[in-house]
Structure 1
Amino acid sequence: MENAHIYIPIEAAAEYLIDDGFEKIFKEGRLLTMGKKYILVELSYYNMHHGFYALVFDLQIAGYQVILAHPERYSYFHDKWPVYEDLKARGILFQLNTISLTGCYSPKVQKVAEKLIDMGFYDFVATDMHNEEYLANFNKSLYIPHLQKLVESGRLMNHNLI
């Protein structure tokens, strides 16, 4: 690529699990962000960290914009729609994992993702492709009407990450 004079900038970023170790990384100033000050976080699949809201507040005070990765996958939120509304009211941005729309995690995760799209809650879309095994479901997701609806909504902020 160098010989062809093709320049592709590469930047490091991270998805942070909100757990007891996250606060230390934050306080030490070692966060890798996307774009200016977007910070991608995820929660445990078993329960929400006891200090989540306080950490989000501290991040926001420090100038970060918090993006919650794949909120459709946290089963402890599924039947508690006011929690999603509260997260959005606190300024937390949502990132859809496209393959959640295929039902590969569960039919419930798929339905929650569809409803969050219908409610206009997603701000970003991503593949969350950790390995090659996800590729077939990603390709399948490209033809799902709800993903098309989200992409065509004009709401997505992915361009802000560059």
Structure 2
Amino acid sequence: MVDFHSHVLFDVDDGSESLEMSMKMIEQSISEGVRILALTPHHIKGLFEQAMENKESYEEKFQFLKKKYEDRIELVKSVELMIREDLLEELQSGKTFGYGGSKTVLVEFNLLEVPTYAEGLFYKMKKEGYQVILAHPERNKALREDPELLYHLHDLGVLYQLNAGSLLGQFGEKVTKFSKELIKVNLIHAIGSDGHKDKVRDMRIRHAYEEMKELNPEAYERLLENSEKLIRGESVEVLPYKPWTESVKVRVKKKKKKSFLAFLGF
């Protein structure tokens, strides 16, 4: 198994608070059967900038953990990037980076909205050779209310990373239901624990792989084929998406959803 999303790096954001906690989190990943674990501290302007503002410290902590566990689990350094209009420029200048320094990047939205500039930004990133993985789309209110936005972004090459905790009900029943639907329609391409601590929001992830296998065996097999390639920055072939269920379409239609162009101000 590959874990695409964790906050194991200590003392840089709202994740691990100490080296001891980081070690407990990694041990939990190993016990879950994870072979490759990405360390993805937040990079949010004005809130969590320490990981990228002090890359030497990041590197020292990462190298210590990597060496300590090199015979038991592979650690990959990366960042969870809060979307912003100058994100491409930050990547190109080296201020931030993708998985293992590659052009495969983990990007997050806030939990309420899809920024009006997102489509244009992702289009430019794709043209420049970047592969965007959107973190936990199931937790975003706008996407849950208008699933068509997911299809628009996926048509631009955006892939989706599911939080394992979403299937455990950590973020509410609506998020859990939406997560299962994403799996069924082939719109989950990576799984992450999004582990923040050694308890509560921890590193459990095996159940998510198992539930995906049960809900959509074909998508599960493709996930296993793709995960290691994707986290190494290699290109992958994903399954075509399926139509959203009629019950959800009716629910969305009753809300008189706005089109994506309306979000762009047209």
TM normalised by structure 2 equals 0.52
Q: Report what 2:178 is aligned to.
A: 112
The answer to whether the 8 A contact 2:193-2:202 is kept is no
What is the SS of the residue equivalent to 2:133?
Answer: strand
Moved more, 110-119 or 21-30: 21-30
CA shift in 2, pair 1:34/1:107, >3 Å: same
Moved more, 57-66 or 5-14: 5-14
Larger Rg: 2
Q: Report what 2:214 is aligned to.
A: 149
1:52-91, CA deviations, whole angstroms, 9 ceiling, x for partnerless residues? Answer: 1121112111111010011111011112121111121111
Equivalent residue for 1:122, pick from 188, 191, 205: 188
Aligned ranges 1:75-86 → 2 under 5 Å? 75-86=141-152
1:3-50, CA deviations, whole angstroms, 9 ceiling, x for partnerless residues? Answer: 9x9497644211100035635523523231115421110001121222
Deviation at 1:149, TM superposition (A): 3.1
Residue correspondences, number: 159
Deviation at 1:121, TM superposition (A): 0.9
Does residue 202 of structure 2 align to residue 135 of structure 1? yes
Output the aligned Cα RMSD: 2.9
Q: Report what 2:51 is aligned to.
A: none
CA shift in 2, pair 1:151/1:40, >3 Å: farther
Does residue 228 of structure 2 align to residue 159 of structure 1? yes
Deviation at 1:130, TM superposition (A): 1.4
CA shift in 2, pair 1:143/1:16, >3 Å: closer
TM normalised by structure 1 equals 0.82
Q: Report what 2:131 is aligned to.
A: 65
Structure with bigger RCO (C-alpha 8 Å, 6+ apart): 2
Unaligned ranges ≥5, structure 2? 1-65, 233-266
Distance in 2 of aligned mates of 1:109 and 1:29: 34
The answer to whether the 8 A contact 2:167-2:208 is kept is no
Equivalent residue for 1:14, pick from 76, 79, 82: 79
Distance in 2 of aligned mates of 1:98 and 1:71: 12
| Amino acid paired to 1:78 | R
- Percent identity for Structure 1 against Structure 2: 25
Moved more, 16-25 or 46-55: 16-25
CA shift in 2, pair 1:93/1:143, >3 Å: closer
Distance in 2 of aligned mates of 1:110 and 1:7: 32
